[in-house]
Amino acid sequence: MDLIPLPALLLAGVLLGLACAAPVVAWARWRRGTPGRRAALSTGLFALVAAQLSLGLLLLDATWPLTGYPMYAPRIDPGATINVLLLSGTTAGAQEVQIAGSAMFSDPLDLQARALDALEDPARRAAMASAILDYYNATQADERERLVALRGAVERRSVDAGGVITRVVEPVFVYPEAAP
């Protein structure tokens, strides 16, 4: 909220107030001669657009389905490191497989957003790794293709001012811990 300029904050407040007042406005319009259906529809459209603009100006993302659109908005400083979760595993048929993020959710980064913190935390790791293993195995009809072990690594990616990209992979965990 500290990021939002005062004029935008005030505008958002006014718009939200007007959106909340829409039923009263529709009633007032009907009283002044606007046909009921037209008054309800037109004022409803106003309320929808005002609420959408208001939540957008406030950068709110938790108010789905009406939200702000702050994706890819944060500034990332030069030289910063981007961490990306990489998963691989061993199947019951002793095959080594890479598990693409898109094998778990529609957006490859969704799994990382939910799981990376837990996988890096030794206290929560086993439960999260077990859940991922079960979720992956639920789609494998052939028992030999089901995972018996899961490995996680984090690839740390950065780019310097000249455009040179560095990628360093650091192993994070093996589940179960006794697995090779």
For other proteins, the binding residues (CB under 8 A) are: 3-5, 8, 28-29, 31-35, 38, 41-42, 45-46, 48-49, 52-53, 56-57, 59, 61-78, 80, 82, 84, 105-110, 113-114, 127, 131, 134-135, 138-139, 157-159, 161-165
Q: Which is nearer to other proteins, 50 or 149 (CB)?
A: 50
Q: Which is nearer to other proteins, 108 or 174 (CB)?
A: 108
Judging by beta carbons within 10 Å of its beta carbon (0-12, 13-18, 19+), is residue 142 exposed, middle or buried?
Answer: exposed
Alpha helices in 34-155, H assignment, sequence order: 36-57, 108-120, 122-137
List the structure tokens of 119: 């996988």
CB of 79 to other proteins, least distance (A): 9
CB of 153 to other proteins, least distance (A): 14
Q: Which is nearer to other proteins, 62 or 94 (CB)?
A: 62
* Nearest C-alpha neighbor of 153 from the set 112, 114, 96, 107: 112
CB of 180 to other proteins, least distance (A): 26
Q: Pairing relation of β-strands 147-159 and 165-175?
A: antiparallel
Residues 6+ apart with CB under 8 A from 157: 81, 82, 83, 84, 165, 166, 167
CB of 45 to other proteins, least distance (A): 6
CB of 124 to other proteins, least distance (A): 11
- Residue-wise DSSP of 49-76: HHHHHHHHHTT--TTTTS----TT-S--
